[in-house]
Each structure stands twice: as C-alpha cells, then as structure tokens.
Chains A and B, each alone.
Chain A
Amino acid sequence: MFNPKARWDRELPQNPNELLDEKISVYAFFDKGKIIPQHFVWKNNIHKIKQTTYFWQERQGKELISFFSVDTGSDIYQLSFNNTTFGWRLDRLISSSAGPT
C-alpha cells in the first residue's frame, strides 16, 4: 500500500536482507543526558559494540526516536531507542564485514 511517508522510498533498503526491524535487548549507559549502548542481544548472541559511529534523532509524531549506528568490529548495525516506550529495536544491517553493502 502506498504511504506518502515513504514517498521518497528511503525506508526501503536496496538489499532487503539489510532490513532487520526486530525488538532487541540492549545494555546501555545513560550518562548526563547521553545514551551509550554497550552491547545488544540478537538471536541469542551478545554483540559487543566497539564504537557508536553516529547518532541522530527523529521525531515521529509525539515520540522521539534516537538512532545509533554501531560498529561491532565485524558489522555495522542501526539501533533505535524509543524515548517514550523505552524500547530498543535492531533496525538494519548497515554494512557487513565483507565490506560496504
């Protein structure tokens, strides 16, 4: 179904395998207004975050979503934190160890 929100079809990744969109558990520090994700659990594996490469936020209606691109050493993922529900999601695989996607 056509949704004007996705009118620029930016939400659709070139490679559908990149899209993960799963609820996950994340261990994170909340320090002086900053959120610092440390590791996340996905498919029963703990993925240690070596570095948060970028951070940005987007308001979706009344909800503020914080996005993190995180480097696990082998892969780069996009995580998101909903500042209203306090839920974490694993949005997508940005890049795998094989190189840029």
Chain B
Amino acid sequence: MFLHIDMDAFFASVEQAVNPHLKGHPLIVGSRANKYHTVVCAASYEAKALGIDSGMNTREAFQICPQAKFVAANSARYIFTSERIFELLQDFSPNLEYVSIDEFLVGLEGQENAKPLEVAKKIKQAIKKRFFITCSIGIAPTRILAKLASKINKPDGLKVIAPADIPGLFEGMPIEKLCGIGPSLKRQLNSLGIITLKDLFDTPEELLSSHFGKVGHWLYEAVRLNYDLPVTFFNTQNKPPKSISHSYTLARETSNNERIFAWIRLLSEMVSERLRRQNLEAKTVHLYLLNLDQNRGFSRQKTFGQATSDGYELYKRCRLILGPNKGINFKVRAIGVTASNFAPIEDLFLFNEQAKRYRLLQAQDSINSKIGEWSIFPAQIMQAGRK
C-alpha cells in the first residue's frame, strides 16, 4: 500500500505560516520580488479559488485580483521545510521517495501491522503540529492511484482508493487527473471519445494498443492496478540523475545578445557546479531560448564526443548549438540549459592545460563552498545584470 503525501499550496502555506497576517487572503508567491514582472510560482487556496495558479504572469494575476497579497519566493524556507518533512516521514516508514519538493511517497510494504489510514492521520497531525501547514494524502495499492487520490479532497484531504472503488470513482473524472496523461495524450484520447477515466477503463486494450502502442497497454493496465510507475525508495536511491538543468525567466524580454550569453554562461556554471558535486561529466547539452509572449523560441540539443563538467565548456557548447557566429535575432524571456548523458569524472588528463583547468575549477568550488555560493564567479556573468 502506498501513501502519496502532497503538501497543500506548499510555498504559499509556508509564507502564511511565516506571516499569519496573510492567512485567509488571496496570496501570490512570485519567483522574484518585482511583483509585476514575474510569474506566480505558488498561489494560496484563496487565490486559486479566483482562478490564479502557478505559471501565470503576475500582471495577469493582479488583473484578476488587484487586492491579492504578494511575497517573493524564499527557496531556503521551502527546501528546509521539505527536508524536515522528509526526516519526519522516516519515523513512519523506511520506504520513502522524495517525489518533489512538496510531494512524498511512503510505502508500507513489509509493515503488516501498519494501518494505512491511521498512519496517514498521524502524518497529517505531525506535519500540522510541527510546520503549521497542511497536506493531502492519497492511499492506494499503486503509486499512480495514490497520487490521484491525494488530489481528490484537497486541501487537508485524505482519500483511500480500494480496488472495488475504482469504476465508481472514475465516473466523471477527467483523464488528465491520472499521472502520466499530459496535454498531448489527453488530446489524442479525447479525439477517440475517451474523456473520463471511466471511459478509459471501459476501452478495450486492443483499441488503446492500436492507437498508442506500449503507452496504450500501459494505460489499460494502470487503471486496473496491474501497472505502476517504478518506485525508488530513499534507501535504494543512489542512482545518479539522468539530467541536470537550470532555467530562468527574465523580468523583461531582451534581444541584447551579450546579456543573453551571460545568462547562458550563468546557467551553464550552475549546471556544471552540480555536475562536479556529483562527480559527473555530461556529453549532451540542451539549450532553449523562449519568447513566452510570441510563442517563439529555439530548442536544440547536441551530443559531443568528450564529456565535460566545466561551466565554460558547457557554455561554449551552447554557443555551438546556436550556430557558429550566430546571434539571437528574437527577444528572449526564458533561458534553459540542461546536461545529460553522464559519465563519472575522469581526472586523468592528456594535456597540461586540462589539468590546470580542472585544478582551477576545484579551487573555485572550494572557495564557494567555504565562503558561500557565488563568492567567486566568471566575470562574463556580470553582463547578466545589464538592463
């Protein structure tokens, strides 16, 4: 049995706990302090009720609710709280998975005496008592359905899905509620007349498989509890990540190439620092540049022969992906750099220059870990602050 714990409007709830004067008000947590030039990274339930949600432009959000309160996101608060919640959950089961900063999965297998409903109630009480925030918990035999259950009675909800409940529960429930069904798959399913999970449940496997191949088989089995997403519990979670990425949405769009390149460099340095911390090098680099308003952009990746964990090298590879001597001829608002295709760092070098560069990066990391992040950084990054 799985318990999927989903924190309720996590960032907004933490901000309401920090400042109780914000409780009961529509609250927008912005990614940046500039309230009209950022995006909503979380909204309180009072704001959600008005139609404000994550990802929305704050200007649009304030048009919906001009009197909404605003705070800038404080990632340290959320990371600290999330890590403490994870620690707290270890008292309930050793089988834990960190799904995301505000979602956790608890497995109760091997604990025959544990009563899932009782465990869930205790978890809810413990989180509320210690952090003054609420969560919703879904209980089900598979993690896919546990996640679905956690969304049903939000906020402060608790929902158990037993196999016998499934046909009735699925009646009228939109298919996109099922984890794994995104906008594209939803469109394709809808075009076949599959609108609700009950429709999906009633669709023959042959039809799903003929249209969607393996995914069709997966959909057929998932709603019958015969298929589940893989679980990687914390005690076995030693696998390296598949990719490391950083992205940033600028306060205003820009076509200033020097500034855009500086941001690509900054994001490349952030990715490379995480690569080195995990003793990894990457062969594949992905770059995207977007203009959110015009829905225009650039997104491409390339795999190189030699792996790297050097931020400058990642940056140079991003420039290569853009094309030699090519500038950016559209206004950019969002930038992202991703590294993937990993191998362990090899510190055996053919050339002296490579060894010197490696020692330089080690010295940079050592200074930053002692004095604080970004105490020392490449001068090019200064250009990112240009107007």
Interface residue tally of chain A, by bracket?
20 to 34
Taking a contact as CB atoms under 8 Å apart, the answer to whether A61 and B372 are in contact is: yes
Q: Mark B75-108, 1 if CB is under 8 A from A, else 0.
A: 1110011000000000000000000000000000
Look across to chain B and name the residue whose beta carbon is closest to the beta carbon of A71: B20
Taking a contact as CB atoms under 8 Å apart, the answer to whether A7 and B372 are in contact is: no
Cβ of B205 to closest chain A Cβ, rounded Å? 47
Cβ of B122 to closest chain A Cβ, rounded Å? 22
Residues 1 to 32 of chain A near chain B (Cβ within 8 Å): 1-5, 7-14
A5: chain B residues at CB < 8 Å are 372-374
| In the complex, A54 has a CB within 8 A of chain B | yes
Given the interface contacts A2-B385, A5-B374, does A100 sit within 8 Å of B19 by beta carbon?
yes
B382: chain A residues at CB < 8 Å are 1-2
Taking a contact as CB atoms under 8 Å apart, the answer to whether A60 and B372 are in contact is: yes
Given the interface contacts A2-B385, A13-B33, A54-B18, does A100 sit within 8 Å of B25 by beta carbon?
yes
Cβ of A55 to closest chain B Cβ, rounded Å? 9
Q: Which of B14, B69, B370 meets A100, CB within 8 Å?
A: B69
Look across to chain A and name the residue whose beta carbon is closest to the beta carbon of B383: A2
| In the complex, B17 has a CB within 8 A of chain A | yes
Q: Interface residues, chain B, CB within 8 Å of chain A?
A: 14, 17-22, 25, 31-35, 69-70, 72-77, 80-81, 132, 248, 251, 266, 368-375, 377, 381-382, 384-386
Q: Interface residues, chain A, CB within 8 Å of chain B?
A: 1-5, 7-14, 53-54, 56-58, 60-63, 67, 69, 71, 76, 94-95, 99-100
21 A-B pairs with CB atoms under 8 Å apart are A1-B382, A1-B385, A2-B385, A3-B374, A4-B381, A5-B372, A5-B374, A8-B75, A9-B33, A12-B72, A14-B34, A54-B18, A54-B77, A54-B132, A57-B80, A58-B80, A60-B372, A60-B373, A62-B370, A76-B18, A100-B21
